[in-house]
Structure 1
Amino acid sequence: MRADNRVATNQAPPLVGHDVVTSDTALVEAVTRHASDAVVADLSPLGLLAGSEEGREHGMLANRHHPELVSFDRFGNRVDEVRFHPSWHWLMERGVGFGLGATPWTSDDQHAHVRRAAGFMAWSHTEPGHGCPISMTYAAVPALRTDDAIAKEWTPKLASTTYDFGVRPVADKAGVLAGMGMTEKQGGSDVRANVTEAVPTAVDGEYELFGHKWFTSAPMNDVFLVLAQAPGGLSCFLVPRVLPSGERNRLDVVRLKDKLGNRSNASSELEFHGTWAQRLGDEGRGVRTIIEMVAATRLDCVLGSASLMRRAVAEASWHVAHRSAFGSVLADKPLMQNVVADLAVESEAATVLAMRLAAAVDRRSDPHEAALRRVALPLAKFWVCKRTPMMTAEALECLGGNGYVEESVMPLIYRESPLNSVWEGSGNVNALDVLRALSREPETVTAWIEEVGLAQGADARLDRAIQSTLETLADTGAAEGQARRLAGQMAACLQGSLLVRFSPPEVADAFCGSRLGGEYGGTLGTLTSSPADLRAIVTRTTPTLP
């Protein structure tokens, strides 16, 4: 009998209908460790929706139909609005509704930030671009607390679980979103080179801004934190989309960026022409004021990259479990097991580190946690985000040609993979920030040593790696040129310590042997673990349906 060419055979079914939270064993264990089983149960509805066919389709549609800038209305009035596909609004409504914005800052839950971090990771499986405005909304609150009056005005609406789209006065909205504008054409990460000018008005604390911003994501958000040069130096300002009087503020959207990835999100260039702003903090203290916002968005960069890794390895492990070649299922092939296990180890290392940092936010008043967060955030952002493109490319290859077509979602993941290493400071900026923390804040060195030391004696390879890193720390010569090496060493040791303490022995052994033991040749799929251990790691990471 001839085959029916209208029916596809030997193809993996789409990965839909699973709980993104509960099928991620490493995430479940981290949430339970830092919070409780009850938090996992609370997040399950989010996980089910994120893993549904509906969620997958909305994510694909939001990326296929890019945001559109509408500069003028039909009468010729300047409106500077952005139109999004309905799927964008579907994603935003549910992301905000699950409390992934600024909700943790007003919550009485002692594990609010761990809960939100796990939810952010899981919900990002649907589509990562809409996480940008949600992330900035989360990150704005710590900076706003520089001014009690401004914080009281904006925080309740930022913390709302209601997504209320549209350009209207804050008093008329059930919930608002925040953005951030620091980068300018001539400066990039060198924000002290900014030339946007802030001119004081007759009212104390109020200014008019003149200048531009080269990257401002989500120009339809309701309020922005921007940096500008005031008479007293670089300062931080709050810029609302709509003035207290109800009139639109002067924010001219010049164009939307045509980007490699993150296509659903509207990243824009803005111009200020007498734009009304309120100063946040003292003049000349702009960087110090906005740094807490930067720290929070860096955490979301780590969470977002960890989410991309997990989505990639989930798709890869699911595919090889259902695709046959050369006489058996791909997942039973020793070399494919090695590749998928290696991907899983990389993903789990990113997850445990990301969730450890989220737990540190829940314990901000603890000196150890504060110091660890100060140094571990930039080193984690450097390391985890930098490894994501390599990892997602290998996961894509597991699907072969199927992974290279848009319907597989792997191209979306791959295009997104370099983003978090670029935003909120490139790799060099974050590596140098690690050096800055170590040299200016000795307590950060102590915090790192204490944290990795909790696994002392559990694995000889980890012990040697920690000792080697301490020797690098002691060698201050040519420190800047070695910043990446040091940040990578510190991050890998921190991941190794967490895995040795909390993950199954086969996962910790594979990590320490490859990332710390000198067995890693720069290519995924070169683990020296036993066949039984490789199979156990693959089984641990492969999603299951209810």
Structure 2
Amino acid sequence: MTTLSRGQQAELRTHTVDNQPPWRTGLDEYTANVPLVQAVAAFGADHAHDALTVTGTRVGTAEFQGDAERANEHEPVLHAFDRWGHRLDEVEYDPSYHRVIGAAVADGAHTASWSDPGPGAAVARAATFMLYAQIEPGHACPVSMTHAAVASIADTAVAGTWLPRLYARTYDPRLSVPGGKRSALIGMAMTEKQGGSDVRANTTVAEHDTGEDYRITGHKWFCSAPMSDAFLVLAQTRRSGRDEGLSCLFVPRVLPDGTRNVFRIQRLKDKLGNRANASSEIEFDGTSGILLGEAGRGVPTIIEMVQRTRLDCVLGTAAGMRQAVAEATWHARHRRAFGAVLADQPAMTAVLADLALEYEAALLSGLRLAQSFEADARDADRAFRRLATPVLKYWVCKRGPHHAYEAMESLGGNGYTEGFPLARRYREQPVMAIWEGSGNVIALDVLRALGRDAASAAALAAELDLTAGEHPILDAHTRRTLTLLTDVQRAPDDAAAQARRLTEMIALALQGSLMLRFAPRDAAEAFITARLGDDRGAQYGTLPRGTDAARILRRHESPAAV
């Protein structure tokens, strides 16, 4: 038997990888997420438990996570022309991207709540969407737009042909005529160079052709997922020399006769994140489009689609927060430093528990909002969502980037490298705050909701009243919030300067109430005190004295990591 010298033993230890976490794969991401399971049941979708378990198991596999990584490493490539100089206008995606989006469509992450609108369908679809977006967020953009587009397409001239394709659970990446494949995805193209969120400044024009058909000429500065089968487009329409105003048109990529519609992809955006998904600049030149809704009422026609994509921004941000919490706690549970497991060291425990509280508040916000979009939603819920959608889109999405950063820091140097998913998540989170209306646009939409629909303020007050008297700090904050809301309504000329403050206060009041109703009492107490109490801190990890951070954290840890 050979005996190694001390030097040889030291050399072997030096070249042995230890004290590094294993890959976080092979988990059911649904049942491992106790707050999500409980929230799905609380909001009326417990019947979807088995289906969500199937989805959770799928997205937790090493194969699916490998596809998510490859789809972001091998970015979409534009082929504007073929080798002979003919316009091609196609975007090539890595096969991994097609596998990811194909799985999401098969599980109904796009339109299940429309095709099977039973009780809790919107919440079940939201949970499915979140499980996929937790692992790979880029594909979630066309999935979300397809879900949202149904609201604008229903009861229009294209509904009969297109809705069955949107409801299909098959995925086919080819561009084809409506009869050429059974499924379809929908995108939208609204913003332009000169206007951005100010879509009424759009210069793209559409001249009436025949019937409901128009010919579109102009450009779009942002068109996401340009290989979608059709798009909702805003343009200034004209009929018989008369301006009709800003209208919404349905633009297919392939026309019924099999020819390609004019849809010139000028270039792909080089984005900070969201790199698995292509975003493009496009030009129209006599492009065929079909009028949706009334001419001149493009914004009202498309607004229900926008409301639902904003809902998905909230859900997508919450999904990213879950990934951040899961990866950070997994690392801390498997890593030792200074003689102890990281997760058990009080400073780290406090940070991780605080990140978990932020995630749970975002999760409850997203699923409560999804519940208000159920097909059988009460009038009070419909009024609630008109105000709560911009409020939560503003607040939750703005919390995402800082949350991702703090979780990334929990991994130390590993977190800052592209070999781990939190660097990608950190680059991803800002997009949810920017797309579908950035901060000021959304905060001003809160004021519009209050000004145009008095029932929305009443619905909010009724929601907050469900927990009145249960927590003195939240009660005091709610009173201040409703007072400011009333002041803003009474002085609309000064309201814009207070729009962000009011939106933030409403969001925190709503989140505090949801935590009291649906989270464990100790978690709700810690959240409310840490966000609204007199001794609150500015950074994650500054929890109130006496908080049992370890108990809060255990509920969010993956079973295999405990």
**Above 0.5 in TM-score?**
yes
Partner of 1:226: 233
Higher Rg of the two aligned structures = 2
1:490 to 488, 498, 506: 506
Secondary structure class of the residue paired with 1:57? helix
Partner of 1:217: 224
Are residues 1:428 and 2:417 paired? no
Partner of 1:518: 534
Partner of 1:468: 480
Partner of 2:112: 103
2:555 to 535, 540, 543: 540
Secondary structure class of the residue paired with 2:357? helix
Deviation at 1:407, TM superposition (A): 1.2
Partner of 1:329: 341
* Structure 2 letter corresponding to 1:167: L
Partner of 1:124: 133
Are residues 1:359 and 2:371 paired? yes
For residues 132-151 of structure 1, the C-alpha deviation after alignment (integer angstroms, 9 at most, x for no partner) is 0111010100001251x311
User: Partners in 1 of 2:453 and 2:497 — Cα distance?
Assistant: 20
Deviation at 1:42, TM superposition (A): 1.6
Secondary structure class of the residue paired with 2:373? helix
User: Partners in 2 of 1:229 and 1:519 — Cα distance?
Assistant: 53
1:236–1:125 CA distance, 2 compared to 1 (3 A): same
Q: What is the TM-score normalised by the length of structure 1?
A: 0.98
Deviation at 1:384, TM superposition (A): 0.1
User: Partners in 1 of 2:545 and 2:520 — Cα distance?
Assistant: 13
For residues 459-516 of structure 1, the C-alpha deviation after alignment (integer angstroms, 9 at most, x for no partner) is 1111001001011112224210110110011011111101101110111001110112
Alpha carbons 2:408, 2:415 under 8 Å: kept: yes
* Structure 2 letter corresponding to 1:525: G
Partner of 1:499: 515
User: Partners in 2 of 1:350 and 1:329 — Cα distance?
Assistant: 28
Partner of 1:193: 201
Partner of 2:543: 527
Alpha carbons 1:363, 1:369 under 8 Å: kept: no
Alpha carbons 2:45, 2:121 under 8 Å: kept: no
Deviation at 1:7, TM superposition (A): 2.4
Are residues 1:292 and 2:308 paired? no
Alpha carbons 1:50, 1:56 under 8 Å: kept: yes
Alpha carbons 1:232, 1:284 under 8 Å: kept: yes
User: Partners in 1 of 2:334 and 2:115 — Cα distance?
Assistant: 45
Unmatched tracts of structure 2, length 5 or more: 1-8, 238-242
Alpha carbons 2:40, 2:124 under 8 Å: kept: yes
Secondary structure class of the residue paired with 1:528? coil
Secondary structure class of the residue paired with 2:560? coil
Partner of 2:357: 345
Secondary structure class of the residue paired with 1:125? helix
Superposition CA RMSD, Å: 1.2
Deviation at 1:530, TM superposition (A): 2.4
Are residues 1:6 and 2:15 paired? yes
User: Partners in 1 of 2:222 and 2:345 — Cα distance?
Assistant: 46
User: Partners in 2 of 1:4 and 1:74 — Cα distance?
Assistant: 56
Are residues 1:133 and 2:142 paired? yes
Partner of 2:53: 44
1:471–1:57 CA distance, 2 compared to 1 (3 A): same
Deviation at 1:108, TM superposition (A): 4.1
1:163 to 164, 171, 174: 171
For residues 195-247 of structure 1, the C-alpha deviation after alignment (integer angstroms, 9 at most, x for no partner) is 0001011x111100000000001111000000000121000000000011111
Secondary structure class of the residue paired with 1:225? strand
Q: Please show how residues 304-453 of structure 1 align to structure 2 within 5 Å.
A: 304-363=316-375, 365-453=377-465
User: Partners in 2 of 1:382 and 1:81 — Cα distance?
Assistant: 34
User: Partners in 2 of 1:127 and 1:50 — Cα distance?
Assistant: 9
2:278 to 266, 277, 283: 266
Secondary structure class of the residue paired with 2:90? strand
1:205 to 197, 205, 212: 212
Q: Percent identical across equivalent pairs?
A: 48
* Structure 2 letter corresponding to 1:199: E
Deviation at 1:75, TM superposition (A): 2.8
Deviation at 1:110, TM superposition (A): 2.0
* Structure 2 letter corresponding to 1:200: H
1:363–1:247 CA distance, 2 compared to 1 (3 A): closer
Query: Which one is further off, 322-331 or 477-486?
Result: 477-486
Secondary structure class of the residue paired with 1:124? helix
Partner of 2:44: 35
Query: Which one is further off, 509-518 or 220-229?
Result: 509-518
Secondary structure class of the residue paired with 1:541? coil
Q: What is the TM-score normalised by the length of structure 2?
A: 0.95
Secondary structure class of the residue paired with 1:291? helix
Deviation at 1:267, TM superposition (A): 0.2
Secondary structure class of the residue paired with 1:232? strand
Alpha carbons 1:103, 1:160 under 8 Å: kept: no
User: Partners in 2 of 1:20 and 1:519 — Cα distance?
Assistant: 35
For residues 392-438 of structure 1, the C-alpha deviation after alignment (integer angstroms, 9 at most, x for no partner) is 10000000001111111111000001000000000111111011111
Alpha carbons 2:45, 2:123 under 8 Å: kept: no
1:105–1:363 CA distance, 2 compared to 1 (3 A): closer
Deviation at 1:6, TM superposition (A): 3.5
User: Partners in 1 of 2:337 and 2:127 — Cα distance?
Assistant: 36
Alpha carbons 1:51, 1:125 under 8 Å: kept: no
Secondary structure class of the residue paired with 1:185? coil
User: Partners in 2 of 1:518 and 1:215 — Cα distance?
Assistant: 44
* Structure 1 letter corresponding to 2:89: D
Secondary structure class of the residue paired with 2:179? helix
How many residue pairs get matched? Answer: 543
* Structure 2 letter corresponding to 1:40: H
* Structure 2 letter corresponding to 1:505: R
User: Partners in 2 of 1:545 and 1:334 — Cα distance?
Assistant: 22
Deviation at 1:36, TM superposition (A): 4.1
Deviation at 1:364, TM superposition (A): 5.0
4+ residue segments displaced more than 4 Å: none
For residues 176-209 of structure 1, the C-alpha deviation after alignment (integer angstroms, 9 at most, x for no partner) is 00000001000000000000001011x1111000
Deviation at 1:543, TM superposition (A): 1.2
Secondary structure class of the residue paired with 1:545? helix
Alpha carbons 2:109, 2:128 under 8 Å: kept: yes
Alpha carbons 2:110, 2:129 under 8 Å: kept: no
User: Partners in 1 of 2:121 and 2:35 — Cα distance?
Assistant: 19
1:394–1:277 CA distance, 2 compared to 1 (3 A): same
Alpha carbons 2:117, 2:375 under 8 Å: kept: no
Secondary structure class of the residue paired with 2:362? helix
